[in-house]
Structure 1
Amino acid sequence: MPGTKPKGAPEPMPSAKAQPGQIQIQFQPTGKRVNVPAGSSLLQAARSAGIELTSDCGGEGSCGQCQVVILSRTKSEAVSEPAENEGLSLSPLDLINGRRLACSTTVLGDLVVEIPRESVISGQRLQVESQLHEITPEEVDPPVRAVRLELPRPSLADSRADFTRVTDALGEQGFAAQQLHAHPSVLRSLPEILRKEAWRLTAYVRGDEIVGFGPVEERALGLCVDLGTTKIAASLVDLATGQSLGSTGAPNPQMGYGEDVISRINHVLRHPETAQILAEKVQ
Protein backbone atom coordinates (compact mmCIF):
# COMPACT_ATOMS: atom_id res chain seq x y z
CA MET A 1 0.00 0.00 0.00
CA PRO A 2 1.24 3.54 -0.71
CA GLY A 3 1.19 4.44 2.99
CA THR A 4 3.05 1.35 4.18
CA LYS A 5 6.30 2.07 5.99
CA PRO A 6 9.30 0.35 4.34
CA LYS A 7 11.13 -2.02 6.63
CA GLY A 8 13.83 -0.28 8.63
CA ALA A 9 12.69 3.21 7.60
CA PRO A 10 13.33 5.98 10.15
CA GLU A 11 10.49 7.72 11.92
CA PRO A 12 9.52 11.18 10.63
CA MET A 13 11.26 13.99 12.44
CA PRO A 14 9.47 16.22 14.90
CA SER A 15 8.65 19.60 13.41
CA ALA A 16 9.35 21.56 16.60
CA LYS A 17 12.58 23.01 15.22
CA ALA A 18 10.95 24.26 12.04
CA GLN A 19 9.51 27.78 11.95
CA PRO A 20 5.77 28.26 11.34
CA GLY A 21 5.00 27.52 7.71
CA GLN A 22 8.30 25.67 7.35
CA ILE A 23 8.85 21.95 6.82
CA GLN A 24 11.88 20.05 8.05
CA ILE A 25 13.50 17.51 5.76
CA GLN A 26 16.35 15.16 6.55
CA PHE A 27 18.45 13.74 3.73
CA GLN A 28 20.07 10.34 4.06
CA PRO A 29 22.76 9.04 4.03
CA THR A 30 24.37 12.43 4.76
CA GLY A 31 22.05 13.28 7.66
CA LYS A 32 21.70 16.89 6.47
CA ARG A 33 18.57 18.69 7.64
CA VAL A 34 16.94 21.72 6.10
CA ASN A 35 13.82 23.79 6.73
CA VAL A 36 11.91 24.88 3.61
CA PRO A 37 8.55 26.57 2.98
CA ALA A 38 5.59 24.24 2.57
CA GLY A 39 4.99 23.64 -1.13
CA SER A 40 8.68 23.56 -2.06
CA SER A 41 9.85 20.77 -4.31
CA LEU A 42 12.28 18.16 -3.01
CA LEU A 43 14.74 19.36 -5.64
CA GLN A 44 14.62 22.88 -4.18
CA ALA A 45 15.02 21.45 -0.69
CA ALA A 46 18.06 19.43 -1.73
CA ARG A 47 19.65 22.52 -3.25
CA SER A 48 18.98 24.43 -0.03
CA ALA A 49 20.84 21.69 1.82
CA GLY A 50 23.81 22.00 -0.55
CA ILE A 51 23.03 18.70 -2.27
CA GLU A 52 23.25 18.86 -6.07
CA LEU A 53 21.03 16.27 -7.71
CA THR A 54 21.56 15.18 -11.30
CA SER A 55 19.00 17.00 -13.41
CA ASP A 56 19.87 17.28 -17.09
CA CYS A 57 16.48 18.87 -17.83
CA GLY A 58 17.03 21.59 -15.21
CA GLY A 59 14.19 20.43 -12.98
CA GLU A 60 11.52 20.42 -15.69
CA GLY A 61 10.52 16.80 -15.01
CA SER A 62 11.56 15.27 -18.32
CA CYS A 63 14.91 13.52 -17.72
CA GLY A 64 13.91 11.29 -14.79
CA GLN A 65 17.34 11.55 -13.14
CA CYS A 66 16.61 13.28 -9.83
CA GLN A 67 15.18 10.17 -8.19
CA VAL A 68 14.87 10.01 -4.40
CA VAL A 69 13.19 7.64 -1.94
CA ILE A 70 10.70 8.86 0.69
CA LEU A 71 11.43 6.98 3.94
CA SER A 72 9.03 8.52 6.45
CA ARG A 73 6.09 6.41 7.57
CA THR A 74 3.71 9.26 6.68
CA LYS A 75 5.08 9.57 3.18
CA SER A 76 1.62 9.46 1.58
CA GLU A 77 0.68 12.57 3.58
CA ALA A 78 4.03 14.37 3.65
CA VAL A 79 4.39 14.75 -0.12
CA SER A 80 2.18 15.46 -3.11
CA GLU A 81 0.59 12.71 -5.19
CA PRO A 82 2.77 11.36 -8.03
CA ALA A 83 2.65 13.63 -11.07
CA GLU A 84 1.84 12.27 -14.52
CA ASN A 85 5.42 12.67 -15.73
CA GLU A 86 6.73 10.51 -12.86
CA GLY A 87 4.91 7.51 -14.32
CA LEU A 88 7.11 7.80 -17.41
CA SER A 89 10.33 7.29 -15.40
CA LEU A 90 9.14 5.21 -12.44
CA SER A 91 7.25 1.93 -12.29
CA PRO A 92 4.13 1.46 -10.12
CA LEU A 93 6.25 -0.61 -7.73
CA ASP A 94 8.82 2.21 -7.52
CA LEU A 95 6.08 4.64 -6.54
CA ILE A 96 4.64 2.24 -3.95
CA ASN A 97 8.11 1.90 -2.41
CA GLY A 98 8.45 5.67 -2.11
CA ARG A 99 10.69 6.37 -5.10
CA ARG A 100 9.89 9.78 -6.59
CA LEU A 101 11.30 12.48 -8.85
CA ALA A 102 12.56 15.29 -6.62
CA CYS A 103 11.63 18.00 -9.12
CA SER A 104 8.00 16.84 -9.31
CA THR A 105 7.42 16.12 -5.62
CA THR A 106 6.06 18.85 -3.37
CA VAL A 107 6.68 18.63 0.37
CA LEU A 108 3.64 18.96 2.64
CA GLY A 109 5.03 17.72 5.97
CA ASP A 110 8.22 16.73 7.79
CA LEU A 111 9.93 13.75 6.22
CA VAL A 112 13.12 11.77 5.72
CA VAL A 113 14.46 11.29 2.20
CA GLU A 114 17.11 8.90 0.93
CA ILE A 115 19.19 10.03 -2.03
CA PRO A 116 20.52 7.16 -4.18
CA ARG A 117 24.16 7.50 -5.17
CA GLU A 118 23.31 7.66 -8.87
CA SER A 119 21.13 10.74 -8.31
CA VAL A 120 23.97 12.90 -6.98
CA ILE A 121 26.40 14.91 -9.09
CA SER A 122 29.58 13.22 -7.94
CA GLY A 123 33.17 14.37 -7.95
CA GLN A 124 34.56 12.49 -10.89
CA ARG A 125 38.02 12.11 -12.33
CA LEU A 126 38.27 15.12 -14.63
CA GLN A 127 40.62 15.75 -17.48
CA VAL A 128 42.24 19.09 -16.73
CA GLU A 129 45.24 18.97 -19.05
CA SER A 130 45.37 18.80 -22.82
CA GLN A 131 48.29 17.72 -24.96
CA LEU A 132 51.42 19.51 -23.75
CA HIS A 133 54.40 20.75 -25.73
CA GLU A 134 57.71 22.36 -24.82
CA ILE A 135 57.50 26.15 -24.63
CA THR A 136 60.50 28.27 -25.56
CA PRO A 137 61.11 31.69 -23.97
CA GLU A 138 60.25 33.32 -27.32
CA GLU A 139 56.79 31.72 -27.24
CA VAL A 140 55.86 33.01 -23.79
CA ASP A 141 53.37 35.85 -24.31
CA PRO A 142 51.03 36.02 -21.30
CA PRO A 143 48.13 38.51 -21.31
CA VAL A 144 49.57 39.98 -18.09
CA ARG A 145 53.24 40.96 -18.16
CA ALA A 146 55.38 41.32 -15.04
CA VAL A 147 57.77 44.25 -15.60
CA ARG A 148 60.52 44.90 -13.06
CA LEU A 149 61.32 48.57 -12.54
CA GLU A 150 63.93 50.59 -10.64
CA LEU A 151 62.79 54.19 -10.30
CA PRO A 152 64.74 57.37 -9.45
CA ARG A 153 63.97 58.75 -6.01
CA PRO A 154 62.11 62.08 -5.74
CA SER A 155 64.27 65.18 -5.39
CA LEU A 156 63.97 68.94 -5.66
CA ALA A 157 64.86 68.59 -9.32
CA ASP A 158 62.49 65.65 -9.90
CA SER A 159 59.11 66.03 -8.21
CA ARG A 160 57.08 63.79 -10.52
CA ALA A 161 54.14 61.90 -9.04
CA ASP A 162 54.72 58.25 -8.16
CA PHE A 163 52.46 56.96 -10.92
CA THR A 164 54.13 59.23 -13.48
CA ARG A 165 57.49 57.74 -12.52
CA VAL A 166 56.07 54.27 -13.16
CA THR A 167 54.52 55.12 -16.53
CA ASP A 168 57.67 56.93 -17.69
CA ALA A 169 59.77 53.89 -16.77
CA LEU A 170 57.37 51.60 -18.60
CA GLY A 171 57.53 53.93 -21.60
CA GLU A 172 61.28 53.34 -21.73
CA GLN A 173 60.51 49.62 -22.07
CA GLY A 174 58.21 50.00 -25.05
CA PHE A 175 54.83 50.69 -23.46
CA ALA A 176 52.64 53.62 -24.51
CA ALA A 177 53.23 55.72 -21.38
CA GLN A 178 50.47 58.26 -22.09
CA GLN A 179 47.83 55.52 -22.42
CA LEU A 180 48.69 53.58 -19.28
CA HIS A 181 46.10 53.72 -16.51
CA ALA A 182 45.21 51.90 -13.28
CA HIS A 183 42.19 51.39 -11.05
CA PRO A 184 42.09 53.66 -7.97
CA SER A 185 42.53 50.64 -5.67
CA VAL A 186 45.78 49.80 -7.49
CA LEU A 187 46.98 53.40 -7.34
CA ARG A 188 46.42 53.51 -3.57
CA SER A 189 48.87 50.65 -3.08
CA LEU A 190 51.69 52.34 -5.00
CA PRO A 191 53.15 54.88 -2.49
CA GLU A 192 53.59 52.29 0.25
CA ILE A 193 55.22 49.63 -1.91
CA LEU A 194 57.60 52.13 -3.56
CA ARG A 195 58.95 53.35 -0.24
CA LYS A 196 58.97 49.92 1.37
CA GLU A 197 60.89 48.40 -1.55
CA ALA A 198 63.35 51.30 -1.97
CA TRP A 199 61.83 52.41 -5.29
CA ARG A 200 62.15 48.99 -6.88
CA LEU A 201 58.96 47.13 -7.81
CA THR A 202 57.20 44.91 -10.30
CA ALA A 203 54.36 46.37 -12.36
CA TYR A 204 51.77 43.93 -13.72
CA VAL A 205 50.50 45.22 -17.06
CA ARG A 206 47.58 43.96 -19.15
CA GLY A 207 47.31 45.87 -22.40
CA ASP A 208 47.23 49.53 -21.37
CA GLU A 209 46.13 48.83 -17.80
CA ILE A 210 48.40 48.37 -14.82
CA VAL A 211 46.52 45.78 -12.77
CA GLY A 212 48.86 45.55 -9.79
CA PHE A 213 52.20 46.22 -8.14
CA GLY A 214 54.44 43.89 -6.17
CA PRO A 215 57.97 43.42 -4.83
CA VAL A 216 60.71 42.74 -7.38
CA GLU A 217 61.44 39.36 -5.80
CA GLU A 218 57.79 38.29 -6.08
CA ARG A 219 57.16 35.39 -8.44
CA ALA A 220 54.67 36.28 -11.17
CA LEU A 221 51.93 33.64 -11.32
CA GLY A 222 48.74 33.46 -13.34
CA LEU A 223 45.61 31.36 -12.90
CA CYS A 224 43.99 29.96 -16.04
CA VAL A 225 40.36 28.91 -15.55
CA ASP A 226 38.24 27.03 -18.07
CA LEU A 227 34.57 27.28 -17.14
CA GLY A 228 33.05 24.43 -19.12
CA THR A 229 29.51 23.15 -19.38
CA THR A 230 30.14 20.07 -17.25
CA LYS A 231 33.45 20.79 -15.52
CA ILE A 232 35.67 23.60 -14.30
CA ALA A 233 39.41 23.24 -14.84
CA ALA A 234 42.15 25.49 -13.44
CA SER A 235 45.92 25.66 -13.93
CA LEU A 236 48.52 27.70 -12.04
CA VAL A 237 51.09 29.06 -14.50
CA ASP A 238 54.45 30.79 -14.13
CA LEU A 239 54.01 33.94 -16.24
CA ALA A 240 57.74 34.28 -16.83
CA THR A 241 58.34 30.79 -18.22
CA GLY A 242 54.88 29.59 -19.24
CA GLN A 243 55.35 26.48 -17.08
CA SER A 244 52.24 24.89 -15.58
CA LEU A 245 52.80 24.44 -11.84
CA GLY A 246 49.66 22.46 -11.12
CA SER A 247 46.15 21.70 -12.35
CA THR A 248 42.87 20.74 -10.78
CA GLY A 249 39.24 20.36 -11.74
CA ALA A 250 35.74 19.88 -10.39
CA PRO A 251 32.26 19.23 -11.76
CA ASN A 252 30.42 22.40 -12.73
CA PRO A 253 27.82 22.82 -9.94
CA GLN A 254 25.43 24.38 -12.45
CA MET A 255 24.80 20.87 -13.84
CA GLY A 256 21.98 20.50 -11.34
CA TYR A 257 20.07 23.14 -13.31
CA GLY A 258 20.47 21.58 -16.76
CA GLU A 259 22.83 19.42 -18.79
CA ASP A 260 23.79 22.18 -21.23
CA VAL A 261 23.75 25.96 -21.51
CA ILE A 262 20.42 26.03 -23.36
CA SER A 263 18.74 23.99 -20.61
CA ARG A 264 20.08 26.40 -17.98
CA ILE A 265 18.91 29.43 -19.94
CA ASN A 266 15.45 27.90 -20.25
CA HIS A 267 15.47 27.18 -16.51
CA VAL A 268 16.27 30.82 -15.70
CA LEU A 269 13.62 32.07 -18.14
CA ARG A 270 11.04 29.97 -16.29
CA HIS A 271 12.47 30.76 -12.85
CA PRO A 272 14.13 34.23 -13.01
CA GLU A 273 14.89 34.15 -9.29
CA THR A 274 17.50 31.42 -9.87
CA ALA A 275 19.72 33.57 -12.14
CA GLN A 276 21.75 34.88 -9.19
CA ILE A 277 21.98 31.38 -7.70
CA LEU A 278 23.46 30.01 -10.93
CA ALA A 279 26.01 32.83 -11.02
CA GLU A 280 27.03 32.22 -7.41
CA LYS A 281 27.56 28.51 -8.11
CA VAL A 282 30.72 29.28 -10.08
CA GLN A 283 32.02 32.28 -8.15
Structure 2
Amino acid sequence: MKIPRNAVIVGYDGSPDADLAVEWADRAAVQRSAPLHLLTSLYDPAAVNLSPSTAWYELHLAELEQAVRDRLVGLASSSVTHELIGGPPVPALVDASAGAAMVVIGARGHTQAAGLLLGSVSQHVSRHATSPVVVVRRPEDAESRRIVVGIDGSGGSAAALDFAFAQAGLTGAPLRVVHGWWHTRPGRVEGLSNPINDIPEALASGERIVAEALAGRRERYPDVTVETVVVPRPPSVLLTEESATAALVVVGSRGRGTFKGMLLGSVSQDVLRTSRCPVAVVR
Protein backbone atom coordinates (compact mmCIF):
# COMPACT_ATOMS: atom_id res chain seq x y z
CA MET A 1 0.00 0.00 0.00
CA LYS A 2 1.32 3.42 -0.92
CA ILE A 3 1.53 5.63 2.18
CA PRO A 4 0.62 9.30 1.63
CA ARG A 5 3.64 11.62 1.60
CA ASN A 6 4.28 13.57 4.83
CA ALA A 7 1.71 11.51 6.69
CA VAL A 8 1.57 11.13 10.44
CA ILE A 9 2.11 7.38 10.82
CA VAL A 10 0.95 5.55 13.92
CA GLY A 11 1.65 1.97 14.90
CA TYR A 12 -1.45 0.30 16.31
CA ASP A 13 -1.83 -3.08 18.03
CA GLY A 14 -4.95 -2.57 20.16
CA SER A 15 -3.03 -2.01 23.41
CA PRO A 16 -3.90 0.86 25.80
CA ASP A 17 -0.72 2.76 24.90
CA ALA A 18 -1.47 2.27 21.19
CA ASP A 19 -4.92 3.81 21.75
CA LEU A 20 -3.20 6.83 23.31
CA ALA A 21 -0.80 6.95 20.36
CA VAL A 22 -3.69 7.05 17.87
CA GLU A 23 -5.32 9.91 19.78
CA TRP A 24 -2.01 11.84 19.83
CA ALA A 25 -1.34 11.13 16.14
CA ASP A 26 -4.87 12.17 15.15
CA ARG A 27 -4.44 15.56 16.85
CA ALA A 28 -1.00 15.99 15.25
CA ALA A 29 -2.39 15.23 11.79
CA VAL A 30 -5.21 17.75 12.22
CA GLN A 31 -2.79 20.41 13.48
CA ARG A 32 -0.57 19.90 10.42
CA SER A 33 -3.38 19.32 7.89
CA ALA A 34 -1.56 16.05 7.19
CA PRO A 35 -2.91 12.60 6.31
CA LEU A 36 -3.06 9.99 9.08
CA HIS A 37 -1.91 6.43 8.37
CA LEU A 38 -2.43 3.53 10.79
CA LEU A 39 -0.12 0.55 10.48
CA THR A 40 -1.06 -2.70 12.21
CA SER A 41 1.01 -5.87 12.25
CA LEU A 42 -0.34 -9.41 12.54
CA TYR A 43 3.10 -10.57 13.63
CA ASP A 44 3.26 -12.08 17.12
CA PRO A 45 6.76 -13.28 18.12
CA ALA A 46 5.35 -15.57 20.80
CA ALA A 47 2.98 -17.23 18.34
CA VAL A 48 5.75 -17.79 15.77
CA ASN A 49 7.50 -20.15 18.17
CA LEU A 50 4.26 -22.07 18.73
CA SER A 51 3.55 -22.71 15.03
CA PRO A 52 -0.08 -21.61 15.29
CA SER A 53 -2.78 -23.02 13.06
CA THR A 54 -4.54 -21.28 10.19
CA ALA A 55 -7.59 -21.00 12.42
CA TRP A 56 -5.55 -19.09 15.01
CA TYR A 57 -4.34 -16.63 12.38
CA GLU A 58 -7.87 -16.14 11.07
CA LEU A 59 -9.14 -15.43 14.58
CA HIS A 60 -6.21 -13.07 15.28
CA LEU A 61 -6.84 -11.27 11.99
CA ALA A 62 -10.55 -10.87 12.73
CA GLU A 63 -9.84 -9.49 16.20
CA LEU A 64 -7.30 -6.97 14.88
CA GLU A 65 -9.55 -5.87 12.03
CA GLN A 66 -12.39 -5.26 14.48
CA ALA A 67 -10.07 -3.37 16.85
CA VAL A 68 -8.95 -1.15 13.97
CA ARG A 69 -12.52 -0.48 12.83
CA ASP A 70 -13.45 0.49 16.38
CA ARG A 71 -10.36 2.68 16.69
CA LEU A 72 -11.10 4.55 13.45
CA VAL A 73 -14.48 5.70 14.75
CA GLY A 74 -14.49 9.32 15.85
CA LEU A 75 -11.08 10.34 14.46
CA ALA A 76 -10.89 14.00 13.46
CA SER A 77 -8.40 13.66 10.60
CA SER A 78 -9.90 14.31 7.19
CA SER A 79 -7.68 11.76 5.44
CA VAL A 80 -7.18 8.40 7.19
CA THR A 81 -5.71 5.24 5.68
CA HIS A 82 -4.93 1.88 7.27
CA GLU A 83 -2.53 -0.91 6.42
CA LEU A 84 -2.48 -4.42 7.86
CA ILE A 85 0.84 -6.26 7.43
CA GLY A 86 1.93 -9.81 8.15
CA GLY A 87 5.55 -9.11 9.08
CA PRO A 88 7.19 -7.52 12.14
CA PRO A 89 6.16 -3.91 12.84
CA VAL A 90 9.64 -2.40 13.37
CA PRO A 91 10.99 -2.71 9.78
CA ALA A 92 7.66 -1.50 8.37
CA LEU A 93 7.54 1.55 10.64
CA VAL A 94 11.19 2.39 10.01
CA ASP A 95 10.71 2.10 6.22
CA ALA A 96 7.56 4.23 6.38
CA SER A 97 9.37 6.92 8.38
CA ALA A 98 11.44 7.91 5.32
CA GLY A 99 8.59 9.94 3.84
CA ALA A 100 6.67 10.71 7.02
CA ALA A 101 6.07 13.87 9.01
CA MET A 102 6.55 11.70 12.10
CA VAL A 103 5.98 8.22 13.48
CA VAL A 104 3.87 7.85 16.61
CA ILE A 105 3.92 4.70 18.75
CA GLY A 106 2.79 3.64 22.20
CA ALA A 107 5.43 3.19 24.86
CA ARG A 108 4.38 -0.44 25.40
CA GLY A 109 2.44 -2.84 23.21
CA HIS A 110 0.41 -5.96 23.93
CA THR A 111 3.42 -8.29 24.01
CA GLN A 112 5.39 -6.35 26.64
CA ALA A 113 5.74 -7.46 30.25
CA ALA A 114 3.68 -5.36 32.63
CA GLY A 115 6.69 -4.02 34.53
CA LEU A 116 8.51 -2.65 31.49
CA LEU A 117 8.44 1.13 31.00
CA LEU A 118 9.42 0.92 27.33
CA GLY A 119 8.65 -1.80 24.81
CA SER A 120 10.99 -3.27 22.21
CA VAL A 121 9.09 -1.79 19.25
CA SER A 122 9.28 1.76 20.60
CA GLN A 123 12.96 1.30 21.47
CA HIS A 124 13.92 0.05 18.01
CA VAL A 125 11.79 2.48 16.02
CA SER A 126 13.10 5.47 17.99
CA ARG A 127 16.66 4.31 17.24
CA HIS A 128 16.30 3.63 13.53
CA ALA A 129 13.53 5.84 12.09
CA THR A 130 14.60 8.74 9.89
CA SER A 131 11.67 10.99 10.87
CA PRO A 132 10.85 12.30 14.34
CA VAL A 133 9.38 9.58 16.56
CA VAL A 134 6.86 10.32 19.31
CA VAL A 135 6.61 7.65 22.01
CA VAL A 136 3.29 8.07 23.80
CA ARG A 137 2.37 7.19 27.36
CA ARG A 138 -0.31 8.66 29.61
CA PRO A 139 1.03 11.95 31.02
CA GLU A 140 1.30 12.28 34.77
CA ASP A 141 -0.14 15.81 34.57
CA ALA A 142 -3.10 15.46 32.24
CA GLU A 143 -3.90 19.18 32.42
CA SER A 144 -0.47 20.41 31.34
CA ARG A 145 0.07 21.80 27.83
CA ARG A 146 3.76 22.68 28.33
CA ILE A 147 6.37 21.43 25.88
CA VAL A 148 9.84 20.83 27.35
CA VAL A 149 12.91 20.59 25.13
CA GLY A 150 16.43 19.69 26.22
CA ILE A 151 19.34 21.39 24.46
CA ASP A 152 23.13 21.13 24.68
CA GLY A 153 24.35 23.14 21.70
CA SER A 154 24.70 20.10 19.42
CA GLY A 155 23.16 19.66 15.99
CA GLY A 156 20.78 17.08 17.43
CA SER A 157 19.46 19.49 20.02
CA ALA A 158 19.04 22.19 17.34
CA ALA A 159 16.73 19.84 15.43
CA ALA A 160 14.86 19.09 18.65
CA LEU A 161 14.45 22.81 19.33
CA ASP A 162 13.08 23.40 15.83
CA PHE A 163 10.55 20.60 16.33
CA ALA A 164 9.57 21.91 19.76
CA PHE A 165 9.05 25.48 18.48
CA ALA A 166 6.98 24.21 15.56
CA GLN A 167 4.85 22.05 17.86
CA ALA A 168 4.35 24.95 20.28
CA GLY A 169 3.41 27.22 17.38
CA LEU A 170 0.83 24.71 16.11
CA THR A 171 -0.74 24.00 19.50
CA GLY A 172 -0.37 27.35 21.29
CA ALA A 173 1.49 25.58 24.10
CA PRO A 174 4.16 27.31 26.21
CA LEU A 175 7.73 26.16 25.61
CA ARG A 176 10.29 25.46 28.32
CA VAL A 177 13.90 25.22 27.08
CA VAL A 178 16.15 23.42 29.56
CA HIS A 179 19.89 22.88 29.73
CA GLY A 180 21.66 20.76 32.34
CA TRP A 181 25.04 19.21 32.86
CA TRP A 182 26.79 16.75 35.15
CA HIS A 183 30.04 16.27 37.04
CA THR A 184 32.42 13.48 36.13
CA ARG A 185 34.67 14.20 39.10
CA PRO A 186 34.82 16.81 41.87
CA GLY A 187 35.31 20.30 40.47
CA ARG A 188 34.94 19.31 36.80
CA VAL A 189 31.83 20.15 34.79
CA GLU A 190 30.83 18.04 31.78
CA GLY A 191 27.97 18.31 29.31
CA LEU A 192 28.97 21.70 27.94
CA SER A 193 30.67 22.46 24.65
CA ASN A 194 34.02 22.39 26.50
CA PRO A 195 34.39 20.78 29.95
CA ILE A 196 35.31 23.41 32.56
CA ASN A 197 36.11 23.45 36.25
CA ASP A 198 34.23 26.45 37.65
CA ILE A 199 30.48 26.31 38.48
CA PRO A 200 29.78 30.04 37.88
CA GLU A 201 31.64 29.76 34.58
CA ALA A 202 29.57 26.67 33.77
CA LEU A 203 26.35 28.58 34.46
CA ALA A 204 27.48 31.41 32.21
CA SER A 205 28.44 28.92 29.49
CA GLY A 206 25.06 27.23 29.78
CA GLU A 207 23.26 30.56 29.48
CA ARG A 208 25.28 31.31 26.34
CA ILE A 209 24.35 27.96 24.82
CA VAL A 210 20.66 28.65 25.44
CA ALA A 211 20.85 32.23 24.14
CA GLU A 212 22.63 31.15 20.96
CA ALA A 213 20.13 28.35 20.41
CA LEU A 214 17.17 30.70 20.75
CA ALA A 215 18.66 33.38 18.48
CA GLY A 216 16.39 33.77 15.45
CA ARG A 217 13.84 31.20 16.62
CA ARG A 218 12.01 33.62 18.92
CA GLU A 219 11.60 35.95 15.92
CA ARG A 220 10.26 33.12 13.72
CA TYR A 221 7.74 32.15 16.40
CA PRO A 222 6.76 35.45 18.06
CA ASP A 223 3.56 34.00 19.52
CA VAL A 224 5.30 31.17 21.40
CA THR A 225 5.84 31.85 25.11
CA VAL A 226 9.38 30.73 26.00
CA GLU A 227 10.86 30.02 29.42
CA THR A 228 14.48 28.95 29.92
CA VAL A 229 16.07 26.85 32.66
CA VAL A 230 19.83 26.41 33.16
CA VAL A 231 20.72 24.28 36.18
CA PRO A 232 23.57 21.98 37.29
CA ARG A 233 21.60 18.73 36.98
CA PRO A 234 22.33 15.68 34.82
CA PRO A 235 20.33 16.18 31.61
CA SER A 236 18.38 12.91 31.79
CA VAL A 237 17.47 13.51 35.44
CA LEU A 238 16.45 17.10 34.72
CA LEU A 239 14.27 16.16 31.75
CA THR A 240 12.61 13.32 33.66
CA GLU A 241 11.79 15.73 36.49
CA GLU A 242 10.44 18.25 33.99
CA SER A 243 8.28 15.57 32.35
CA ALA A 244 6.12 15.27 35.47
CA THR A 245 4.46 18.60 34.62
CA ALA A 246 4.76 18.51 30.82
CA ALA A 247 2.57 17.41 27.92
CA LEU A 248 5.59 16.55 25.76
CA VAL A 249 9.36 16.27 26.19
CA VAL A 250 11.49 16.74 23.07
CA VAL A 251 15.06 15.45 22.78
CA GLY A 252 17.61 15.11 20.01
CA SER A 253 18.52 11.58 19.02
CA ARG A 254 22.17 12.24 19.87
CA GLY A 255 23.82 15.07 21.77
CA ARG A 256 27.32 16.09 22.76
CA GLY A 257 29.43 13.27 24.09
CA THR A 258 27.63 10.57 22.12
CA PHE A 259 30.01 8.15 20.44
CA LYS A 260 30.11 8.30 16.65
CA GLY A 261 27.98 5.53 15.20
CA MET A 262 25.50 5.42 18.07
CA LEU A 263 21.93 5.71 16.78
CA LEU A 264 20.51 6.99 20.05
CA GLY A 265 22.35 8.89 22.77
CA SER A 266 22.34 7.98 26.46
CA VAL A 267 20.20 11.00 27.45
CA SER A 268 17.48 10.25 24.91
CA GLN A 269 17.52 6.56 25.88
CA ASP A 270 17.19 7.41 29.57
CA VAL A 271 14.39 9.91 28.96
CA LEU A 272 12.47 7.43 26.82
CA ARG A 273 12.59 4.93 29.68
CA THR A 274 11.81 7.26 32.58
CA SER A 275 9.67 10.10 31.22
CA ARG A 276 6.23 10.65 32.74
CA CYS A 277 4.73 12.04 29.54
CA PRO A 278 5.08 11.49 25.77
CA VAL A 279 8.60 11.93 24.34
CA ALA A 280 9.58 13.10 20.84
CA VAL A 281 12.98 11.93 19.56
CA VAL A 282 14.16 14.16 16.72
CA ARG A 283 16.94 13.80 14.14
Give the shorter-chain TM-score range: under 0.3
TM-score (norm 1): 0.19
Larger Rg: 1
TM-score (norm 2): 0.19
